[in-house]
Structure formats: C-alpha cells, structure tokens
Amino acid sequence: MKNDVLINRYAEGLAGALRTEEEYKAVSVELGEFAGLLESHDLLRATMLQPFVPAARKTEVLEDILARQGYQDKTRRLILLLAEHGRLDILGDIVRALPALWNERQGVVTFEVRSVVPLKEGQRVRLEETLRSLERRPVSCAYALDPSIVGGLLVRKGNMIYDVSLKGQLERLKEIIRER
C-alpha cells in the first residue's frame, strides 16, 4: 500500500517550488517521461528499486540519464531526492497528484469526472460552467471513463464525491429498502 500522505508531501513541496505555469508544465512533462522510462525499462527499474544496489551506483546511473535528457534542475533534484530516500516507486503517484495541487495553489478547483461514455464538448462546457458557478472560482476537470457506474456521472472534488450515477442511485435505493 502506498503512503498517500508521503506522496502528497512530495507533490506539495514540488508544487510550492514551481514558480510559473511554463515551469510547472515543463517539470510535469519531464517527470512523466522519467516515470514512463522507469516503468518501461525493466533493468533500470530493477536497478533503481533494488535495495542491494549501492546508493552511490544508483545516483551515478540517474545523473547520467538525467544529464542526457537535459531535464530542468527541479526535475533532476526531485528524482535524485526520491532515489536517495528509496522512494522512486512513488514517482508516478507524485506525477498524478501534482496537477490538482498546482491548480489549488493557483486558485483553481480540480474535479475528477467519471462517466460511462465520453462527454460531448457541449456537455463538458455546461458541467464546467455549473461547477464554476457553484464554487465561485475557476475549475479544472479531469475526465475519465468508468463503465462500472452504468450511467450518469461521478464527480469528485478531493474527498467529496457527488454521485449522480445509475449505480449510485441503485445503491441508495437498496439502502432505503434495507432500512424499512
């Protein structure tokens, strides 16, 4: 089980260190690329995640890769810090947590929207306008497909979930019937 507190701590630290939207985008892309590289290369992943490989050797390998990629200083420092503490395995989770934390620092509320089928552009615009008027701040929506909800939407903001899915309505109906 991954430690969400630890993941958020690293992601918040990074979000706080980034100064501009351009820097945020560049570092996000670079971290995503490196996480993909780590995931797709078995030997590299095994070397970096193996506790028996000396830390100095891991650092040497990483510095060589990072220099060849020409990554920004903040990208390099985070990757090396994670490696130094034996936490490269959470890099992908940090990359996924970063957009919401960056948006939060910019005053933008992030929503995760799940639906069975892709929403049409007009539906997305209406949903985002509704959420913006409810929040009274700019919003950003991350859309994903989830066939398990059967129909409707599942909208999540942090720990709050607004379930207007067919599955959610059926679950509520089941609870009402149990209570009687």
pLDDT of the chain, 180 residues: tens digit per residue: 468 889 999 999 999 999 999 999 999 999 999 999 998 988 888 888 888 888 888 899 999 999 898 899 999 999 999 998 889 999 999 999 999 899 889 999 999 999 989 999 999 999 999 999 999 999 999 999 998 887 888 899 888 888 888 787 778 888 888 887
The answer to whether the CB of 4 falls within 8 A of the CB of 53 is no
Q: What is the set of domains in the chain, with CATH numbers? A: 4-103 (1.10.520.20), 108-179 (no CATH)
CA 75/CA 46 separation, integer angstroms: 21
Which pLDDT score is estimated for 1?
45
The interaxial angle of helices 21-40 and 91-105, nearest 10 deg, is 170
| DSSP H or E stretch at residue 105 | helix 91-105
Q: Which residues contact 21 (CB under 8 A, 6 or more apart)?
A: 106
Token couple for 79: 């990757």
Report helix, strand and coil shares of the chain as percent, to nearest 5: 65, 15, 20
SS3 141: strand
Which pLDDT score is estimated for 2?
64
Phi-psi map region of 158: left, alpha, beta (phi>0 left; psi -120 to 50 alpha): left
pTM of the model as a whole: 0.74
Which pLDDT score is estimated for 167?
80
